[in-house]
């Protein structure tokens, strides 16, 4: 069974809460932060409902999950206080990850700020050596994440990650988290040559180190170095390319984790599309939502075909329009799925009395295209 899930919250009853949310999306894996990713405040380990969470995971058939280290960790910093915080706090996060029973903690390698890439690579390796040396008792790997290339972040190329690994003594505890949006934005051809991307990764790093895949579409064209995630199918990568990633034989049995943005007209109505994205990528949308769901998606296809709107071309044309509108300082920031939602509501395409979330789930399925839906 495809191991696919999403980032879920880790609040209230800790692992138990996270598992419940993951199950509600139909997940077979998931990713958590052990606290807020923007700060160092953490609850005691014994208050994280770990036994209860592990039991709920077992009952749901969820085995492997992933922890993500907080964003405030920057092992590439030349500032001693920032670097020291990164080393010490990452060690604590590894201990918490070990206590939860998780094998991989995903880490943004770091940024070199006012220095240069060579300094950043060496500094990150220095920090990793110290962190790993101080957590020998923990059966936890650090999964360095592939980055998009914005600013001075390290990890935008496989070569940079390979250089870090080479400089770390205990590098048997270093793995990789590959993010589809990030490598696309960094310039790798996820859409037309993902097998070639994996071959290059294997040559430079080794597929044996690939532990986690973050599954995200992108709001920007290949090589943009922006790191702006989009719901699956509504970005420059597209549903078909993402589906090819999660079904690639070389990635069999790896955990796939969605970090796609929530969708909604307002903050109050904004909801994740995880449940629909997971079901569509796994291929069990009809089982998950029922035949009426797919019938509604067929209605959308019929309507949009009459309007001469095709999923892939519409998405790419809308992103190009948004880019040109931004340059011209026009004030219609609606993204592809928002524009389509407004059109569906205006034309009363769907007969059911659906919530905004329900309509958006059906639009998410429409992005998959008729060819893919015919397989479901």
pLDDT tens profile 311-339: 999 999 999 999 887 776 777 889 999 99
Please tell me whether 229 is known to bind a ligand: yes
> Is 87 part of any domain?
yes
The enclosing H or E element of 197 equals helix 194-204
The annotation status of 284 as a binding-site residue, yes or no, is no
Do 219 and 229 touch, CB atoms closer than 8 A? yes
pLDDT surpassing 70 at residue 83: yes
* Residue 179 among known ligand-binding residues: yes
- Summarize the confidence of residues 303-311 as an average pLDDT: 96
The answer on whether 182 is annotated among ligand-binding residues is yes
Residues 300 and 175 in one domain: no
Q: How confident is the model at residue 134 (pLDDT cuts 50, 70, 90)?
A: very high
The residues near 52 (Cβ < 8 Å, ≥ 6 apart) are 13, 15, 16
In a domain, 318, yes or no: yes
Same domain, 334 and 237: no
Do 150 and 243 sit in the same domain of this protein?
yes
**Same domain membership, residue 307 and residue 250:** no
Q: Are residues 297 and 255 in the same domain?
A: no
| 122 pLDDT more than 70 | yes
Do 185 and 334 lie in one domain? The reply is no
State what percent of residues in the chain have pLDDT above 90: 91
The answer to whether 214 is a known ligand-binding residue is: yes
Known binder of ligand: residue 227? yes
108 is in which domain, residue-wise?
4-261
Q: Strand pairing partners for 7? A: 31
Q: Is residue 280 part of a domain?
A: no
Q: What confidence tier does 1 reach under pLDDT thresholds 50, 70, 90?
A: confident
- 151 assigned to some structural domain: yes
Residue 72 reports pLDDT greater than 80: yes
Instruction: State pLDDT tens for residues 28-55.
Output: 999 999 998 888 899 999 999 999 999 9
Residues 105 and 147 in one domain: yes
- Hunting for tokens 């060690």 — which residue is that? 91
Q: Would you call 106 helix, strand, or coil by DSSP?
A: strand
Mean pLDDT of all residues in 192-210: 98
Question: Are 234 and 336 within one domain?
Answer: no
Residues 306 and 248 in one domain: no
The total number of structural domains in the chain stands at: 2
- Which H/E stretch holds residue 157? none
Share the mean pLDDT of the chain.
Answer: 95
Q: How many CB atoms lie within 10 A of CB 149?
A: 22
The answer to whether 267 is annotated as binding is: no
In a domain, 276, yes or no: no
The closest of 35, 44, 40 to 9, measured between CA atoms, is 35
Q: Which pTM does this prediction carry?
A: 0.96
């Amino acid at each position: 069974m495809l191991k696919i899930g999403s980032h879920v919250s880790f609040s209230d009853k800790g692992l138990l809460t996270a598992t419940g949310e993951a199950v509600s999306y139909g997940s077979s894996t998931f990713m958590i932060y052990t606290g807020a990713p923007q700060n160092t405040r953490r609850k005691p380990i014994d208050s994280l409902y770990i036994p209860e969470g592990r039991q709920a995971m077992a009952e749901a058939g969820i085995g492997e999950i992933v922890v993500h280290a907080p964003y405030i960790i920057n092992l590439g910093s030349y500032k001693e206080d920032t670097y020291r915080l990164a080393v010490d706090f990452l060690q604590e996060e590894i201990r918490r990850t070990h206590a939860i029973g998780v094998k991989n903690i995903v880490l943004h390698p770091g940024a070199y700020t006012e220095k240069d890439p060579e300094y950043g690579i060496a500094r990150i390796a220095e920090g990793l050596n110290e962190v790993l040396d101080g957590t020998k008792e923990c059966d936890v790997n650090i999964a360095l994440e592939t980055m998009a290339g914005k600013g001075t972040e390290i990890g935008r190329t496989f070569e940079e990650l390979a250089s870090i690994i080479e400089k770390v003594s205990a590098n048997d505890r270093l793995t990789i988290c590959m993010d589809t949006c990030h490598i696309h934005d960094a310039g790798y051809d996820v859409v037309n040559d993902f097998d070639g991307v994996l071959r290059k990764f294997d040559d430079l790093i080794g597929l044996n180190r690939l532990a986690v895949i973050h599954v995200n579409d992108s709001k920007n064209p290949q090589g943009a170095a922006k790191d702006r995630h989009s719901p699956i199918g509504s970005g420059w990568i597209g549903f078909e390319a993402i589906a090819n990633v999660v079904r690639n034989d070389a990635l069999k049995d790896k955990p796939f984790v969605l970090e796609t943005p929530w969708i909604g007209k307002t903050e109050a109505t904004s909801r994740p599309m995880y449940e629909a994205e997971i079901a569509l990528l796994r291929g069990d949308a009809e089982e998950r939502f029922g035949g009426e769901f797919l019938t509604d998606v067929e209605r959308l296809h019929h309507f949009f075909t009459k309007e001469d709107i095709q999923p892939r071309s519409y998405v790419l044309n809308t992103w190009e329009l948004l880019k040109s509108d931004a340059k011209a300082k026009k004030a219609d920031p609606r993204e592809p799925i928002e524009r389509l939602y407004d059109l569906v509501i205006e034309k009363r395409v769907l007969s059911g009395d659906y919530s905004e979330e329900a309509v958006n789930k059906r639009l998410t399925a429409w992005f998959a295209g008729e060819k893919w839906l015919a397989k479901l």
